[in-house]
Amino acid sequence: MVDFIDFTLIKSPGFHGDGIVMPETKKAQIMDASEITRAILRISHEIVEKNQGCGSICLVGIRKRGAPLAARIANNIRKIENCNVPVGILDIAFYRDDLRKNPHPVVQKTDINFNINDLDVVLVDDVLYTGRTIRAAMDALMDFGRPRSIQLAILVDRGHRELPIRPDYVGRNVPTSIKERVMVHLEEIDGEDKVVITG
């Protein structure tokens, strides 16, 4: 018998995966604050190395937790290369392929106030799962111009891809079952940095 179901998980930005919300049966922390910081710093160095500096790149964080991650990467790159990388925020609500199931999505502001034409755009998100969020993000991005390339930076890759999408930069690969949920907590939104698996 289930005594308590945490309904605050429904539609929570940190809740990943579709379907009925089930009560948590276990919770394991897989990254703490220091591990997240190191992963983001490593990704920042890899972005600079792959693009031979920062002159041609911009960062676009996918709402909600991709936005603060993109800002942190930009801050790291500024310290590494002494340059300011443009940072934008992208909302993909109207580009999702499940709009028929949810015809009234919660829409938030997209903020990309720079020209992405001929730039190497690094999309940033917290968790990569089926790949459908990233496909929607790429569709949304194309409405803003024609970038030279689109790269993908992810804090956690949990597998179970449904589309042929692969990240260029990964903080951590985490094998999961489909029943499990990967939840990223960030200081800017949640008051602390950690990644946990529930299921």
Can you give the pLDDT at residue 4? 40
CA dist list (Å): 128 to 50, 53, 111, 191: 21, 26, 22, 22
Can you give the pLDDT at residue 44? 98
Give the largest CA-CA distance in the chain: 58
Taking the CA atoms of 7, 34, 122 and 150 in sequence, report the sign of the dihedral they define: negative
Contact 108, 90 (CB under 8 A): no
Mean local confidence (pLDDT), 43-69: 96
More confident residue, 21 or 194: 194
In this predicted model, what pLDDT tens digit does every residue of 84-137 receive, in sequence order?
999 999 999 877 655 555 655 566 688 999 999 999 999 999 999 999 999 999
* All structural domains of the chain with their residue ranges: 34-177
Give me the architecture of the 34-177 domain, per CATH: 3-Layer(aba) Sandwich (3.40)
Whole-model pTM: value is 0.83
